[in-house]
């Protein structure tokens, strides 16, 4: 069980705008304790008692338009309806980058790793103290605040989310490492889905007009990019060869 520890007012009780948190927890007692502790810290807390209602809330218009979107999600893993890992996976798949703190009684390393792999930002094993929970929340919110200094529009196409300002790409819920050229190629393709590009046009856009190399460079980069984003690089679904012309995306 959780230890009932009332968090002390620390030096970190800084003046921050009221953060909105979503707590997804099916056990009434734990949920109530967390709500009390978080509200005492000045957070606004919305609760969901199972996976389905959490997703319904997150997909409601007020949340998707940003008006009442949570700044942080505290997510239990063992939930009725839809479990926490699936929620995590789904949100990341949809390009939702809200920080997620997983709270779970599953303490094995596999569970932790799995939680983090499907896109959770932090993992706290039950039982935990309220003080620790609040410290973790603060850390995640602080990180989020810094990364929010500039708006981060996201380009999404099916399973691929590209964050231009962060130079980050998420494919099927996992971050992939792209070289700068690969990133610029993918960004260009995603900006113009289905448009056919000749190799010369791609060279001009991505490498610049002064590029002296061969247009085969494009083919090599496309091949590398396919290996990173396609489920089966030999049967590409995104970076399509248009015979006699060049390439298109989607
Ligand atoms: Ca549970």
| Fold observed for domain 150-249 | Arc Repressor Mutant, subunit A (1.10.10)
Q: Is the dihedral of CA 157, 141, 37, 136 positive or negative?
A: positive
Ligand 1 centroid distance, CA of 26 (Å)? 5
pLDDT digit string (tens) for the chain, length 250 residues: 555 555 444 444 444 458 899 999 999 999 999 999 999 999 999 999 999 999 999 988 888 777 788 999 999 999 998 999 999 989 888 878 899 999 998 777 777 777 777 888 889 999 999 999 999 999 898 887 666 554 457 788 889 999 887 788 999 988 999 998 999 999 999 988 888 999 999 998 888 877 888 889 999 999 999 999 999 999 999 999 999 999 999 9
- Cα distance between residue 48 and residue 121, in whole Å: 20
To which CATH superfamily is domain 20-147 assigned?
Response regulator (3.40.50.2300)
- Cα distance between residue 216 and residue 221, in whole Å: 9
Cβ count within 10 A of residue 67: 9
Domain boundaries, the chain: 20-147, 150-249
pLDDT digits over 105-142, tens only? 877 777 777 777 788 888 999 999 999 999 999 989 88
CA 165 from centroid of its chain's CA atoms: 15
Instruction: List 161's β-bridge partners, or say none.
Output: 156, 170
| Three-class DSSP category at 187 | helix
Ligand 1 centroid distance, CA of 52 (Å)? 13
- 204 contact partners, CB below 8 Å, separation of at least 6: 211
Ligand 1 centroid distance, CA of 188 (Å)? 43
Ligand 1 centroid distance, CA of 50 (Å)? 9
DSSP one-letter code for 197: B
Ligand 1 centroid distance, CA of 20 (Å)? 22
């Amino acid at each position: 069980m959780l230890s009932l520890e009332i968090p002390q007012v620390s030096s970190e009780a800084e003046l921050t705008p009221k953060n909105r948190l979503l707590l997804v927890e099916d056990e009434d007692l734990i949920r109530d304790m967390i709500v009390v502790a978080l509200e005492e810290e000045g957070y606004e807390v919305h609760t969901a008692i199972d996976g389905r209602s959490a997703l319904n809330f997150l997909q409601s218009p007020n949340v998707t338009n940003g008006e009442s979107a949570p700044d942080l999600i505290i997510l239990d893993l063992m939930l009725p309806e839809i479990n926490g890992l699936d929620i995590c996976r789904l949100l990341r798949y949809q390009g939702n980058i809200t920080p997620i703190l997983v709270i779970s009684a599953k303490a094995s390393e596999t569970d932790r790793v799995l939680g983090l792999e499907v896109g959770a930002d932090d993992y706290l094993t039950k039982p935990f103290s309220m003080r620790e929970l609040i410290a973790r929340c603060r850390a995640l919110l602080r990180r989020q605040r810094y990364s929010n200094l500039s708006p981060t529009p996201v380009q999404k196409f099916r399973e691929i989310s590209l964050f231009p300002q962060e130079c980050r790409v998420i494919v099927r819920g996992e971050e992939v490492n792209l070289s700068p050229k690969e990133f610029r190629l993918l960004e260009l393709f995603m900006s113009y889905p289905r448009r056919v590009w000749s190799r010369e046009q791609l060279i001009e856009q991505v490498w610049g007009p002064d590029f002296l190399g061969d247009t085969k460079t494009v083919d090599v980069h496309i091949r590398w990019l396919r290996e990173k984003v396609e489920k089966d690089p030999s049967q590409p679904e995104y970076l399509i060869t248009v015979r006699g012309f060049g390439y298109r995306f989607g």
